[in-house]
Structures are given as structure tokens and as C-alpha cells.
Amino acid sequence: MPDLNQRNPRLATYLIQNSIWWVEYAGLSGIRVDTWPYSDKAFLTEWARRLVEEYPALNIVGEEWVTNPAIVAYWQRGSLRRDGYQSYLPSVMDFPLQDAAIKGLLEDEGWGTGLDRIYTMLANDFLYGDPHNLVIFPENHDMSRIYTQLDERFDLYRMSLVFFLTTRGIPQLYYGDEILMANPGTDAHGVIRSDFPGGWPDDEVNGFSGRGLAVRQREAQELTRAHLHWRKSATAVHCGKLTQFAPEGPVYVYFRHDDRHKVMVVINKASEARPVELARFDEIIGDISGADEHGIDVITREHYALDESFEVPASTALVLELR
């Protein structure tokens, strides 16, 4: 992995031209750039500028692995900076939200802990030039599997899946998440990046056909499949607004909405069912007195009457389409 002198104008030109050639030759729709800030700042600006000038629809995501949103936002196109630096990078990896989500699900509720940590991190979206073009993820190839990070608690796994598939941003799922691949007791990359089971005649466990998977693994796979299938036509989740409300204890509510579609997400971390009073969400739901509005669970298709309140089951993340 040699460090190239990107301040050399001939080398810089070669790298830019070579990148344009690869986009054209391979028909690329996006590029992920590892360790974005390790390269020369001026070169990064010119490299990204030339690429998006040539291919306006090309998306480029840069990796800046810190959990401070102000530092991550610095590199995204459109973000405000005091030093006048000009960036043409369309997207960055949202490590701050990943860190907040995992801690928020594991921690008890408190001032700045638990679900409030997620709410507060999303409140920092004003720092980003385009928060909807951030890549969001439960984990990636460099960190422990999400099931391991969440202490192999299936209820928290379900909540994390729902959250990352419904909050703002472009979700990235790592292979094997859908069958609860884990790395208990080690963070060795060889274990984290273990082969996906199946694909060879003598494999006893096959994640493609489902043969040999445990009951929980099958449930996780079907849950992932169902949410992704629903998400295909959920326009509000693709590009709609995100409106969140401060958590009340272990219950966190947010909405994704556009002109055609309205989705309500309710996360209840409590070990018992909790009521959700709907009056505080009037600005999104509207005046519910006498209304015939209802929510439909996108997975079970169960109907929830949106009159004054409804009860959310324990340790659950509900995704409701509002009708």
C-alpha cells in the first residue's frame, strides 16, 4: 500500500485520468474511498471535482472513521467550513450515527444516554451538506458483527435492523447480518469476515437455501427480506423528510414522510408494553379527533387505530404506514 505523492502534478493527473477511465470502462455507479483524509486535501478536491463533473450521477463515499459529526461533515460537499476548504465529495460514512445507535440500544435511558443518544446525534444533521446522502450501517468489515455488538440479544438486533432501514441516509448491510453471523470472544478480522455458509455441496449449513440454519437465523433472514422488500416502494424512506421526537423514557418515535407517503416508526426498549399518546405528533399525523386514520404494520399487516393512543409491545420496533 504505497503512499503516492499526489502533490506531483503529473501523478495527480494520471490518478484522475485513470479513475475516469475505470468509471467509463466498468460502468461504475459509485466509488467508496478508504481512509479519505489520509490523502492530500487539495488533490482530493480536484479528483472528486473532475469525477463528478464528468459523471454528475456518480456517487462517491469517503471513509472518515471518527464519531464526531463535525469532523465527518467537514469532508462532505455543501457543508459549511470556517477555513474555506472546498469539497466535492458527495457522501461520507456515518460513523457517528453507528456509534450512537449501538450505545443507545445497549444503555439504560438517562440524560444523554440510551435512545436520547440517537436522537441527539440526528439533531446534529444541520452540520452536513446533505444528511440524506450519508451511508448508514449497523457495522462493517472492520468491526464486530452487529449481533455480537448487541450482546446477541435478538430484540436489540431487530430494533437496529428497523432503525437503519428507516432512518435518513443510504443503508449498507454487511453480508451475514441477515443470518446473525457473530464473532463472540474475538475481534479478529479473519473471524469477522468468515465465509458465508453455503454454496458448496458438502456445506452442512446453507444460508442460501436455509438448510441447517437455527430458528433465530431463519427469523432474522425473513425479517430482513420482508423489510427490504417493503422498502423498495417506500418513497418516504428513500428520500422523504425525517421528523423525530425526543424519546420519552424507553420509547422513541420518528416519521419519514413525503407528499405521497407517511411512515411512523416506534421503538420501545422497555420489557413491558408501553402506550404511545398521539397528540404530541399532531404536526405530522394531523388532528386525530374523530379521524379515520390508522397505521398498518408493514410486516404483519396488523392495523393500529390512531385515535388517541395505542400500545406498543415490549422490546419492539414498529413500522407503520399511515393511511
Q: Where in the sequence numbering do the catalytic residues fall? A: 34, 63
Pairing of strands 294-297, 30-33: unpaired
**185 contacts: CB under 8 Å, gap ≥ 6:** none
d(CA 195, CA 203): 11
d(CA 84, CA 158): 42
Nearest to 157 by CA among 267, 49, 286: 267
List the beta strands (DSSP E) in 259-299.
Answer: 262-268, 274-277, 294-297
- Burial zone of 218 (CB within 10 Å; 0-12 exposed, 13-18 middle, 19+ buried): middle
Phi/psi at 266 (5° precision)? -125, 120
Task: Return the C-alpha cell found at 36.
Answer: 479519505
Kindly give the residue spans of alpha helices, DSSP state H, lying in 215-317.
215-231, 235-239, 282-285
Task: Return the C-alpha cell found at 41.
Answer: 486535501
**131 contacts: CB under 8 Å, gap ≥ 6:** 125, 168, 169
d(CA 100, CA 298): 26
**52 contacts: CB under 8 Å, gap ≥ 6:** 58, 60, 88, 90
